[in-house]
Amino acid sequence: MGTHTIEAGPTGLEARWRDILAVHARTMCEIDRVLHPHGLGASDFEVLDILATETPEPGAQCRVQNLAGRVHLSQSALSRLIGRLEKDGLVARSMCVEDRRGVWVSLTDKGRDLHAQVRPLQRAALERTLGEGITGSP
């Protein structure tokens, strides 16, 4: 059997990566903390925010597939999240007529109102955690 050596400490690149992960974790926790009283988590807000930004007109739709790569969740986790948002009346889902595998999602009026209400809280959390920049960044 071969021997494995463990370096004494992280390289500069590894240290930067760990800094990024730490900032991400702090930021997600802070967003979760401020949104929790409104029944939302950071990923819930991210879906609402993308929909509010990309479908600004009431009734406008977005394909779930287009959300998947942007919210950094697996397809099944995103599907469960959208199911919860739908159950809470914040989004509506419908099947794509052209492609029966496709699913459309849109913000409801309730979802749009909640997004507008909590968006300043999320932005303030970002300012608190990211306003000074990421430690170790050039």
55 band by pLDDT with thresholds 50, 70 and 90: confident
Handedness of CA 113, 54, 72, 13 (dihedral sign): negative
Domain boundaries, the chain: 13-130
Structurally, at CATH architecture level, domain 13-130 sits in Orthogonal Bundle (1.10)
User: If pLDDT is split at 50, 70 and 90, which confidence band does 4 have?
Assistant: low
Least confident of 1-15, 62-76, 88-102, 124-138: 1-15
- In this prediction, residue 136 carries a pLDDT of 42
| Residue 1 pLDDT class (50, 70, 90 cuts) | low
- 8 Å CB contact between 91 and 111: yes
The residues near 90 (Cβ < 8 Å, ≥ 6 apart) are: 48, 107, 108, 110, 111, 114
Q: What is the pLDDT of residues 70-117, one digit of tens each?
A: 888 888 899 999 999 999 999 999 887 666 667 889 999 999 999 999
